[in-house]
Structure 1
Amino acid sequence: MNQNILKQYSILVEFLGKALGPDYEVVLHDVSDYTNSIVAIANGHVSGRTIGAPMTNLGLTVISDKSYKDIDYKINYNGISKDQRLLRSSTLFIKDENEELVGMLCINFDDKRYVDLSNQILKLCHPDELIEKNSTYESINSILDDETESFPDSIAEVTNTVLNKILSKNNIPIERLTQDERLKVVDILNQKGIFMLKGAVSEVAKQLRCSEPSIYRYLNKLNKDKENSQE
């Protein structure tokens, strides 16, 4: 049943990609396989992804915290492409008759061409002062400080993106992590759904500079602590 639903949406992906034009990337995610999540994509040059790319950091978080149960879509949030271009993103949560998540239909708009054209026109009527006063675009650095969606094409990229945000936010250098700090990082990664990806344990262990058994021990401890708190 779910595959029939996704098949219909895959046709919509192709249609929207052609109808909206090359500045709009349209993506269909199948939530039954987080590691090879993308099953259809149009205008993939916008983010640089292809079919078989993994679920995004935002998608994993939505699935992990089940926030999709309370909303049907999320619109006009920030995304960052691999070459640091700001994208305007929106996601429709595709659900079955039991309100369980089946997939996600995402549209990512790259407005760079329009911004460049707008700036050129403004320069004709007034110098840089006018552009600076009327600019509504935040710097990439300030946007990256928010819960921004990135668009990886590998597990390593997903893990690295989320891990870097956690470490920079908490001002923790990897080489000086204590065992308790590693546990804290693993806890946050777990809450964000990173470990739903196949191979994530190995990738996190590599990036945290510890062994895979250590990551499993952290996860077991977190699960036991959670069970004890619920008793």
Structure 2
Amino acid sequence: MISIGEELKRYIPIANLIAKTFGKNCEVVIHDLSIPQNSVVYTINNHVTGRKVGDAFDHLVKQVLLSKNFKGDCAANYMTVTEEGKEIKSSTVLIRNSKDKVIGALCINYDLECMKNMKDFLDDFFIVEKESIEDDIEPFEHVMEIVDDLVDRIVGNQDINNLKRKDKIELIKFMDSKGIFLIKGAIEKIANKLNISKVTVYSYLDEIRKNEEI
């Protein structure tokens, strides 16, 4: 059972208000970034994307932290697509604690499918930012600090020296799926964190991606 901490619990009324204001097609998700592999700690109207408590974050790195439109701790109006092919308009804002440390994120996901027949009337609402994701992106100020913290949380308190090869591959697979390796310098940082060489990280990534193609 995933519980929500007191600092993030304060955002539940805000999430409920947003969802009730915009109706059943508006999903709101609260993430606890201290537990990246199970970051979803609250959802409302989760039929929109199927997100559930205990799931991991998906778009935080690729479409929020690395977005050219990421300003003031938020990225608004970017497009995501569900596994079923539904187009979702999403916005994310980071949540900071009293010490100004990023501890979570609040995400709004709006199902656009029901609005396609109203497009002429709602053209302004359909403005979204579409960006291509490139490898080895130079991160914006403070983004690397957030990503470093995520990597530390993902690795956790595991004894790296006694960690088996398959476990290191699983950690790298998770980080790769979340876009961590798109950030410039990530290979070196993660190699150091896992006490392996850069060459080994590259070989693990090759192995992971080849297996995904099968």
Bin of the TM-score, shorter chain as denominator length: 0.5 to 0.7
**Corresponding position of 1:151:** none
After superposition, the CA RMSD in angstroms is 4.4
Aligned residue runs from structure 1 range 20-59, under 5 A: 20-56=22-58, 58-59=59-60
Q: Hey, which of these two has a bigger chunk of helix by percent? A: 1
Name the CA distance, whole Å, in 1 between partners of 2:126 and 2:65.
31
Q: C-alpha displacement at 1:89, in angstroms?
A: 0.8
Q: C-alpha displacement at 1:92, in angstroms?
A: 1.0
8 Å CA contact 2:19–2:26 kept in 1: the answer is yes
CA separation of 1:75/1:137 partners in 2, compared to 1, >3 Å: closer, same or farther? Answer: closer
**Corresponding position of 1:15:** 17
Q: Which amino acid aligns with 1:96?
A: N
Q: C-alpha displacement at 1:3, in angstroms?
A: 2.7
Tell me the SS of whatever aligns to 2:34: coil
Q: Percent identity?
A: 23
8 Å CA contact 1:60–1:194 kept in 2: the answer is no
Aligned residue runs from structure 1 range 201-212, under 5 A: 201-202=169-170, 204=173
1:222 matched to 2:198? The reply is yes
8 Å CA contact 1:23–1:110 kept in 2: the answer is yes
Query: What is the aligned length?
Result: 152
8 Å CA contact 1:88–1:108 kept in 2: the answer is yes
Decide which structure has the larger Cα Rg and report it.
Answer: 1
CA separation of 1:8/1:137 partners in 2, compared to 1, >3 Å: closer, same or farther? Answer: closer
Aligned residue runs from structure 1 range 134-145, under 5 A: none
For structure 1, the residue ranges without an aligned partner over 5 or more in a row are 122-133, 148-164, 167-189, 208-215, 224-231
Q: C-alpha displacement at 1:63, in angstroms?
A: 9.4
Q: C-alpha displacement at 1:61, in angstroms?
A: 5.3
TM-score (norm. length: structure 2): 0.55
TM-score (norm. length: structure 1): 0.51
- Worse-superposed segment, 27-36 or 72-81: 72-81
Name the CA distance, whole Å, in 2 between partners of 1:194 and 1:96.
19
Name the CA distance, whole Å, in 2 between partners of 1:13 and 1:221.
43
Name the CA distance, whole Å, in 2 between partners of 1:114 and 1:35.
33
For structure 2, the residue ranges without an aligned partner over 5 or more in a row are 136-146, 156-166, 177-189, 200-214
8 Å CA contact 1:194–1:200 kept in 2: the answer is no
Instruction: With a CA cutoff of 8 Å and minimum separation of 6, indicate the structure with the bigger relative contact order.
Output: 1
Q: Which amino acid aligns with 2:197?
A: K
Q: C-alpha displacement at 1:11, in angstroms?
A: 2.4
